[in-house]
Amino acid sequence: MLISKLEISNMRKIKQAEIEFHGPGVQVIEGVNRSGKTTLGQAIAITMNGTKDFTPGMIRHGAEEAEIVAYTDDGLKIRTTIAKEVKQKAHRFDEGLQRWVEVSGGVRAFLSSLCSGLEQPWALRDVPDADIVEMLKERSGTSAKIAAIDAELADKERLRTETGRDRKKLGDPGKPLDEVKHPEPIDAIKAEREKALGYLAWKKEQFAAASDHLRKKCEFAGIGDLEGFKVEVDEVILSITQCLATREANGGKPYTETDLDVFLKKIADWHEIEEKAKSYDAYVQKKAECDDLDKQYSVLTAEIEGLRARRKKVLADMKLDVKGLVVGEDNMLYRNGVLRGITKTNKTANWSTAESVQVFFGLGARFAGEMKVLVVDNAESLDAKTSGAITNWAEKAGFLVIMLRVAEVPDELEEGVIYIREGEVLTK
């Protein structure tokens, strides 16, 4: 569907104008600043988008309302009146009844189904890639899907970073160690050593008591005293021998200092084996923790790659219908592998003008409704190569591209160009 004719009355400088368009291709409209040229673009915009493109001061000075009537090449008539508010009606010509019949249902909803709101795609050439990508997501209905995937991606990447950090803190578990089992509890050895110490202490006490007893008997005045001392010694020996025998008979093992050395050796050996067993346990535990974190990291990496693949598929499913155009994982635009690269700080694109024309007008066509009309404002800034590229695209795509160009109206009007001078439409 193309606009075939536009009737404008009492809109800014235009008191009354009727403009006919030739069909697919480029329609150039020229005029100096404030001549009414931009008003034509505004008339088309407000016809297609209603109050969204309304700006104050559209009504011609002295008039109560402005009116725009647009006709399409398939028999649709759109009447827009501008007073205190914007009102629109749509009629379609009924061949059987031979009269205009009002379109049923909400007129704005009907017109919104015909138009895309992207009628000026060339204006996107100065917009950062990220902003264009967000617009494409929204228009293709993938914003919510991408946002959900991005949120999940951010969470997984955060977990992977934390996992990697924890793994790095653990370090290398070291060379594998031979398994060493913990020895039996040392309590029995310690208990027996205590018994030995107790026995030896008791034995020492017995001999100390005997020594004290004999020491008191060590006063001699003659042979008789020595003979008596000998008897005392024999009695002490017998007494101690009997005590030792009695203790041994009652389960008291006769420990020696050598036994203590043996116990100390056993305890030292036990601690050595226990330390090796602990080292082995620590190695096993650290190895298990490292393996677990490595596994977690691998699982998260696989999940992240899966999410990125799903994100890529969702972006591919937007069906931009522009050959070679894709949205990268970095939310930037690529065409045939070449990054466009416009950001808030970088205003220079890596694409040629012809590529930009193909992409942005292609996007305009992709998201256009039934109304195949696009507008290029400030077209005087385009060079001949760009204008030619737009013309070729419009003719191939079957779109009417209206170029608004600031220029003096020549004395000899050029055929096919619509001129505006002081609100008056001029054609050859």
Q: Side by side, which strands form the sheet with 76-82? A: 14-20, 3-11, 66-72, 76-82, 86-94, 99-102
Rounded to the nearest 5°, which phi and psi values hold at 332? -120, 160
Q: Looking at the domain assignment, is residue 167 inside a domain?
A: yes
Q: What is the pLDDT of residue 274?
A: 95
Q: Which of 367, 390, 405 is the last residue of a domain?
A: 367
Task: Say yes or no: 327 and 186 in one domain.
Answer: no
C-alpha 29: how far from chain center? 45
Identify whether residues 161 and 278 lie together within a single domain. yes
pLDDT at 116: 64
Of 250, 241, 238, 233, nearest to 203 by C-alpha is: 241
Phi, psi of 200 (to 5 degrees): -65, -35
Q: Name the domain boundary from 367, 383, 403.
A: 367
The residue among 42, 59, 30 whose CA lies nearest residue 120 is: 42
Co-location of 162 and 187 in the same domain: yes
Distance in angstroms (rounded) separating the CA atoms of residues 296 and 108: 54
Cα 202 to Cα 244: distance, rounded to the nearest angstrom:
10
Shared domain for 182 and 57, answered yes or no, is: no
3-state secondary structure of 259: helix
- Supply the pLDDT for residue 300: 97
**Per-residue confidence (pLDDT) for residue 198, from 0 to 100:** 92
What is the tally of helices (H) and strands (E) in the chain?
Answer: 9, 14
> Are residues 293 and 168 part of one domain?
yes
108-114, long-range: CB within 8 Å, 24+ apart, which pairs? 108/50, 111/48, 111/50, 111/78, 112/369, 113/369, 113/370, 114/1, 114/48, 114/369, 114/370, 114/371
Residue 157 sits in the same domain as residue 281:
yes
Are 164 and 217 part of one and the same domain? yes
Residue with tokens 């003979």: 227
The percent of residues in the chain predicted with pLDDT above 90, rounded, is 40
Output the domain CATH number for residue 42. Answer: 3.40.50.300
Report DSSP state, residue 195: H
Can you tell me the distance from the alpha carbon of 32 to that of 149, in angstroms, rounded to the nearest whole number? 50
Domain stops at, among 294, 317, 340: 317
271 and 172 share one domain = yes
Please tell me the predicted confidence (pLDDT) of residue 117: 64
Residue 400 domain flag? yes
The answer to whether position 245 is within a domain reads: yes
Tell me how many domains the chain contains. Answer: 3
pLDDT computed for residue 221 by the predictor: 82
Does residue 125 form part of some domain?
A: yes
**Range(s) of the domain holding residue 244:** 153-317
Provide the pLDDT for residue 111: 74
Q: Are residues 171 and 287 in the same domain?
A: yes
Which backbone phi and psi does 270 adopt, to 5 degrees? -60, -45
For 36, list phi and psi in degrees, rounded to 5: 115, 0
**Hunting for tokens 């725009």 — which residue is that?**
68
- For residue 148, being part of any structural domain is answered with no
CA pair distance 356, 124, nearest whole angstrom:
9
Statement to judge: residues 284 and 328 lie in one domain: no
In a domain, 421, yes or no: yes
Indicate whether 417 belongs to any domain.
Answer: yes
Q: Which residues of the chain fall below pLDDT 70?
A: 116-117
Q: Are residues 304 and 164 in the same domain?
A: yes
Angle between helices 257-316 and 187-216 (to 10 degrees): 160
pTM, 2 dp: 0.60
Give the pLDDT confidence score for residue 93 in this predicted structure: 85
Q: Do 176 and 64 fall into the same domain?
A: no
d(CA 164, CA 171): 11
